[in-house]
Amino acid sequence: MGVLSFELALTFYFAATIIATIELFKGTKTTAKIMLLLVVFGFFLHTVSIIYRYAVAGHIPISNPHEATSFFSWCIVLLFLILEFRDKVGLLGSFIMPIIFILMLSSSMLSREIKPLSPVLQSNWFGIHTLLAFLGNAAFAMAFGVGIMYLVQEHYLKSKHPSGLFQRLPSIQSLDEINYRLITIGFPLFTLAIITGALWAESAWGSYWRWDPREVWSLITWLIYATVLHARLMSGWRGKRAAILSILGFITILIAFFGIKMLKKGLHVFL
Amino acid sequence: MNIFVVGLNHKTADIDVREKLAFNGPKLEDGLQRIATIPEIKETVILSTCNRVELYTNVKNPAKAYESIKDFLSEFHSLDRNAIEKSLYTYENVTAVRHLFRVASSLDSMVVGEPQILGQLKDAFEFALRKKTTGILLNKLMKKAISVAKRVRTETKIAENAVSIGFAAVELAKKIFEDLSTKSFMLLGAGEMAELAARHLMNNGVKDVVVANRTYETGCNLAQEFNGRAVRFEEFIHEMTNTDIVICSTGAPTYVLMKEQMQKVMKERKHKPVFIIDISVPRNIDPAINDIDNVYLYDVDDLQGVVDSNKLERQKEAEKAEGIIAEEIETFQRWQSSLDAVPTIVALREKADLIKKEEIEKLLNKFPVLGEKEKSAVEYMANALVNKLIHPPTTALKEDSEDKDVLIATIKKLYGLNEKGE
């Protein structure tokens, strides 16, 4: 059942991504509704698959790359649905659904074997650290999508050829504000994830920080988002620069997440 | 019954001709009543706007009616008949229906897709309705035209994009700012076009207005008009720290705002976005300002560019609208042909005669002993019965009434009249 609901969720997300792409070129109210409905169904099935794995494994299902990527996508969908129902951001799905689908697709291609937890992971810190990290990163993923939307809309305005998506994209002010809000949600979660990670490292290996590649990339990510917030609060940095930085930030997250996994080095190899 | 249109519009007549022929104010009522006295013309609606004057009529003979209408127009407006004739166009029946549908859907407008014409047409129709100069044909036609126009508006994007500079400015402002009612706005200089754009913005919710003009007094008057406040012209850069939208038309020969100054302003306003519209020619604001982040500068040509590309978009939508109109003309024609009562009257008559004949034959077969005298008495009675029974439906069919199509359908159903070939 776990496998079936995961595959079905993937299928629903795929369908939603196709509709979301169609919406980019020829959007109506109906396409937006169908897309949202597909995402809601997919999310429900996705939730079922995660609960199922939790029940089978007996621990929070983020212990291998397949589970981690799946759970990461789940967090993004959760945030997407909240934002979609609260703020009704035009065309948000068209920019977010492809990210979700690509993550889910890569999750589906990774090994789904449930292995017993390695001793390092058998710690209370494991659940808290990963949960915080994924929720924080999900907010950054959303900020990435919204940042791209901002740059597209800004381009239309600056180039003085408002056409195509111009009418259907939200105003740059609201995109900027949503981007900022997402980073203010993601940043504290991410900071806490780093702190709990350090505490966990201390209890597992006896030192808080060991400069392994994942730690270094996380620090870079943290510095980027810290810059966005600091510059905004101190000198009103906003708009284009904030959008570009939030895109850069998410790219470092992806590098940390997938790139380092491929190197198979460092302490985070199990993820 | 013929639908007949005589009129002139912005394509066939200059403004001074249109002005002279306009039915504005009391002239409209006067004109309608005068036309009602022309025997040729059974129904009339007069549509008179600044871009067109059109008479929609129901006439017996279009050629004769055209002459009387020309007489009427030259007499009513005291103009030379030949001078009028040059600007007039006429449409009959299907072409008249198409013309009206296109006018109502704003396909015939100077600015294709502008929404005012539908309201003007509604007013013209309602006025004629009140003055009782319309009947079954024009009532149906006008109602249909209004519904066609609504269909065109919902099914095409013909009225979606801004096609005037003022509207384009508002459209852009709405994509820069989330909520215009919380934004402040400065009028730099006081040109006519700037004022117009300002009014568009205010209609869309902008409340906080500042006017900075070279002549302080003029600025004060304008500020009063907009419920805003006036500042001295030299203070405008200082004001920009708190202004989100600026419309500039000062008539100065050089730039009044340079990039370096604007950079300072942006720092002071913590880089909050600002929308600057420079409609002065020559330009008053350094175009390089557009390169600063969060500053959106549009000059007249930029706005015109937006308007032009929107117009192109509208042209595409207009083609879709023509398709809808063609469809609707067909349904209207079907209704119009159903108005023709003669075939139904004939069918009713035939059916009654057939029944009469059959029943008389049956009776005579049963009673072969009847003499000639009795026979003619029976026939006489049968005739009288049939005639009396079909008289009321026949007269009802001959009368003009609002829902004649329904009446015809009802009678056909009640009497079981199926037209051949249907």
Instruction: Report the 3 state secondary structure along B65-101.
Output: HHHHHHHHHHHHCCCCHHHHHCCCEEEEHHHHHHHHH
Q: Which amino acid is at B69?
A: I
Contact B173, B275 (CB under 8 A): yes
Name the domain boundary from A113, A138, A156.
A113
HSE on the CB side for B203, CA within 13 Å? Answer: 11
Task: Tell me, yes or no, whether A235 and A156 share the same domain.
Answer: yes
Task: Tell me, yes or no, whether A17 and A128 share the same domain.
Answer: no
Task: Tell me, yes or no, whether A51 and A185 share the same domain.
Answer: no
Q: CA B54 to CA B76: how far, in whole Å?
A: 15
**Which neighbouring-strand residues pair with B56?**
B5, B45
Name the domain boundary from A82, A113, A144.
A113
Task: Tell me, yes or no, whether A107 and A122 share the same domain.
Answer: no
Contact B404, B1 (CB under 8 A): no
Pick from A169, A170, A172: which is nearest to B273 by CB? A172
Q: Does the pLDDT at position B404 exceed 80?
A: no
Distance from the A135 Cα atom to the nearest Cα atom in chain B, whole angstroms: 28
Task: Tell me, yes or no, whether A127 and A259 share the same domain.
Answer: yes
Task: Tell me, yes or no, whether A169 and A215 share the same domain.
Answer: yes
Task: Tell me, yes or no, whether A37 and A123 share the same domain.
Answer: no
Residue whose C-alpha is closest to residue A57's, from A121, A101, A135, A144: A121
Six token digits for residue A140: 């950054």
- Looking at per-residue pLDDT, the higher value among A163 and A149 belongs to A149
Tell whether B172 lies on the interface with A, counting CB pairs under 8 A.
Answer: yes
CA–CA distances in Å: residue A28 to residues A18, A19, A191, B155, B316: 14, 11, 40, 12, 18
- Which chain A positions have a beta carbon within 8 Å of B175's beta carbon? 153, 156-157, 162, 166, 169, 171-172
Tell whether A28 lies on the interface with B, counting CB pairs under 8 A.
Answer: no
- Looking at per-residue pLDDT, the higher value among B116 and A96 belongs to A96
Subunit contact A239:B270, Cβ cutoff 8 A: no
Tell whether A164 lies on the interface with B, counting CB pairs under 8 A.
Answer: no
CA–CA distances in Å: residue A202 to residues A59, A82, A196: 22, 36, 10
Subunit contact B273:A160, Cβ cutoff 8 A: no
Subunit contact A167:B160, Cβ cutoff 8 A: yes
Task: Tell me, yes or no, whether A109 and A124 share the same domain.
Answer: no
- The pLDDT tens digits of the residues spanning B316-326 come to 888 889 999 99
Q: CA A253 to CA A271: how far, in whole Å?
A: 14
- The pLDDT tens digits of the residues spanning A66-87 come to 888 899 999 999 999 999 888 8
Q: Does the pLDDT at position B14 exceed 90?
A: no
Percent of residues, chain B, with pLDDT higher than 70: 98
Tell whether A174 lies on the interface with B, counting CB pairs under 8 A.
Answer: yes
Task: Tell me, yes or no, whether A25 and A97 share the same domain.
Answer: yes
Q: Write phi, then psi, for B56 (nearest 5 degrees).
A: -95, 125
Subunit contact A160:B302, Cβ cutoff 8 A: yes
Confidence of residue B421 (pLDDT cuts 50, 70, 90): very low
Of A101-115, A135-149, B33-47, B269-283, give the lowest mean pLDDT range.
A101-115
Subunit contact B269:A240, Cβ cutoff 8 A: no
Question: How many A/B residue pairs have CB atoms within 8 Å?
Answer: 59
Percent of residues, chain B, with pLDDT higher than 90: 38
**Which neighbouring-strand residues pair with B248?**
B188, B278
Q: Are strands B52-59 and B41-48 parallel, antiparallel or unpaired?
A: antiparallel
Of A19-33, A110-124, B40-54, B210-224, give the lowest mean pLDDT range.
A110-124
- Which chain B positions have a beta carbon within 8 Å of A153's beta carbon? 175
Task: Tell me, yes or no, whether A269 and A139 share the same domain.
Answer: yes
Strand order from edge to edge, sheet including B2-9: B41-48, B52-59, B2-9, B89-92
CB atoms within 10 A of CB B10: 15
Task: Tell me, yes or no, whether A52 and A173 share the same domain.
Answer: no
Domains contained in chain A, number: 2
What is the 3 state secondary structure string of chain B? CEEEEEEEECCCCCHHHHHHHCCCCHHHHHHHHHHHCCCCEEEEEEEECCCEEEEEEEECCHHHHHHHHHHHHHHHCCCCHHHHHCCCEEEEHHHHHHHHHHHHCCCCCCCCCCCHHHHHHHHHHHHHHHCCCCCHHHHHHHHHHHHHHHHHHHHCCCCCCCCCHHHHHHHHHHHHCCCHHHCEEEEECCCHHHHHHHHHHHHCCCCEEEEEECCHHHHHHHHHHCCCEEEEHHHHHHHHHHCCEEEECCCCCCCCECHHHHHHHHHHCCCCCEEEEECCCCCCECHHHHHCCCEEEEEHHHHHHHHHHHHHHHHHHHHHHHHHHHHHHHHHHHHHHHCCCHHHHHHHHHHHHHHHHHHHHHHHHHCCCCCHHHHHHHHHHHHHHHHHHHHHHHHHHHCCCCCHHHHHHHHHHHCCCCCCCC
Mean pLDDT of chain A: 86
Tell whether B302 lies on the interface with A, counting CB pairs under 8 A.
Answer: yes
Cis peptide before A213 (omega within 30 of 0): no
Of A141-150, B17-26, B249-258, B399-408, give the lowest mean pLDDT range.
B399-408
Mean pLDDT of chain B: 87
- Looking at per-residue pLDDT, the higher value among B57 and B202 belongs to B57
A220: containing domain: 118-271
Contact map slice: B 270-299 vs A, CB within 8 A: 270-273, 290, 293-294, 296, 298
Q: CA A231 to CA A225: how far, in whole Å?
A: 10
Q: Does the pLDDT at position A46 exceed 60?
A: yes
Tell whether B167 lies on the interface with A, counting CB pairs under 8 A.
Answer: no
Q: CA A194 to CA A129: how far, in whole Å?
A: 8
Say whether B50 is catalytic: yes
Q: Are strands B184-188 and B208-213 parallel, antiparallel or unpaired?
A: parallel
Pick from B271, B273, B309: which is nearest to A161 by CB? B309
State the pLDDT at residue A195: 92
Nearest chain A alpha carbon to B177: A173
State the pLDDT at residue A181: 93
Q: CA A231 to CA A237: how far, in whole Å?
A: 5
Q: Which amino acid is at A131?
A: L
Percent of residues, chain A, with pLDDT higher than 90: 42
Q: Which amino acid is at B208?
A: D
Contact map slice: A 230-269 vs B, CB within 8 A: 235-241
Pick from A160, A170, A239: which is nearest to B294 by CB? A239
Residue whose C-alpha is closest to residue B274's, from B173, B353, B403, B150: B173
- Which chain B positions have a beta carbon within 8 Å of A236's beta carbon? 269-272
CB atoms within 10 A of CB B154: 8
State the pLDDT at residue B422: 38
Of A33-47, A254-268, B104-118, give the lowest mean pLDDT range.
A254-268
Subunit contact A167:B161, Cβ cutoff 8 A: yes
Task: Tell me, yes or no, whether A91 and A28 share the same domain.
Answer: yes
CA–CA distances in Å: residue A45 to residues A8, A42, B264: 7, 5, 54
ipTM: 0.84
Say which of B36, B38, B50, B146 is annotated catalytic. B50
- Which chain B positions have a beta carbon within 8 Å of A239's beta carbon? 271, 273, 293-294
Tell me which residue has tokens 């969720």: A9
- The pLDDT tens digits of the residues spanning B99-143 come to 999 999 988 887 777 778 899 999 999 999 999 999 888 999 999
- Which chain B positions have a beta carbon within 8 Å of A181's beta carbon? none
Q: Does the pLDDT at position A271 exceed 60?
A: no
Name the domain boundary from A91, A113, A135.
A113
HSE on the CB side for B215, CA within 13 Å? Answer: 7
State the pLDDT at residue A248: 92
Tell whether B205 lies on the interface with A, counting CB pairs under 8 A.
Answer: no
